[in-house]
Structure 1
């Protein structure tokens, strides 16, 4: 993909930083009944994907800074016999690790104070549910800028199903993907589910 930023890394970093700040400010202001309704619609769509792809071990996240609250989905997934996991930052520049989580497990505070299971076993998710700060129609995700998920997905074996989730208003025309950006298999919002076609740049929007 060509763009005005090609070969201009410093400008791209500055542009992403600006967009990230704008989107995070909007997400923090989105509240009330509209947020609650959108959250439920996203979780219903993700639940359908977990079921249809026969997910057994799902990596979720602990909601932070106005992200989609996946805790109700985690409880629903557990109630139907699935195994839930939460990410752990092992170290700067390192891929994430995922630890088994259930209600009542002892938790510790990780990076930015985000809780993670303190003593549980490491598991390998076959599906990852990943929050987005922004996204585009090619299923590329704009995150917080740390690169943790990109590094994790780049080395993951076997490759997990990748589901990025967020609100429809976080959509960008493009995040200007670079060689290190790993696309999601799906982007799920309250408005639609976008599927990235395997081996093709074309994407399909599902009802």
Structure 2
């Protein structure tokens, strides 16, 4: 796999997602969130890792709020530390941090085992492996776990190639949910 092919694919997916997010984004977000919610209700996880969305990513904040109100599962989000992140319980207030991403305050509480992880993607290759922003934070996070949670990739519109662009360490989806 040539890194330049992966980089080019990433750039084209980002342009496509930026374009998609300009039109009917609220409607598209809502459709994806409904699908995610139905999956979570059927799967019945005790803990879910979500994310604080950036502009072109599916806005899962309504899902976070709904799950927290129902109290049927614990909601965690990434908290960046070094070259990866730790999962911390979602709570307010959120503060803008590195790369413009919002995060809750760091928690010293040890998180429970993550049963289900909902991960934003820029693109997906022929092996259903994640093409992200190129920092490798999700890859390192999942590699350092001593177990494998169920992973759902999500994005506004599927940006997929049949080519294999991933490396061995790139994470793979169990499910992909898009608009």
Change (3 A) 1:18 1:136: closer
Q: Which runs of 4+ in 1 moved over 3 A?
A: 119-122
- Paired residue for 1:152? 141
Counterparts of 1:167 and 1:175, CA distance in 2: 22
- The normalised TM-score by structure 1 is 0.77
- Paired residue for 2:77? 86
Q: Secondary structure at the match of 1:146?
A: coil
- Paired residue for 2:40? 50
Greater RCO (Cα-Cα under 8 Å, separation 6 or more): 2
- Paired residue for 1:117? 104
**Structure 1, gaps ≥5 residues long:** 6-11, 191-207
Structure 1 counterpart of 2:93, from 106, 122, 143: 106
Larger Rg: 1
**Structure 2, gaps ≥5 residues long:** none
Q: Secondary structure at the match of 2:52?
A: coil
> Does the Cα contact within 8 Å between 1:97 and 1:122 map onto a contact in 2?
no
Q: CA RMSD in A?
A: 1.8
Q: Residue by residue, what CA displacement relative to the aligned partner does 1:108-167 show, whole Å, maximum 9, x if unpaired? A: 332212111114444232211100100146421110111111111122133211111013
CA drift of 1:106 comes to 2.7
1:133 aligns with 2:122: yes
- The normalised TM-score by structure 2 is 0.88
Q: Secondary structure at the match of 1:98?
A: strand
1:25 aligns with 2:15: yes
Counterparts of 1:77 and 1:99, CA distance in 2: 15
Counterparts of 2:127 and 2:29, CA distance in 1: 22
1:181 aligns with 2:165: no
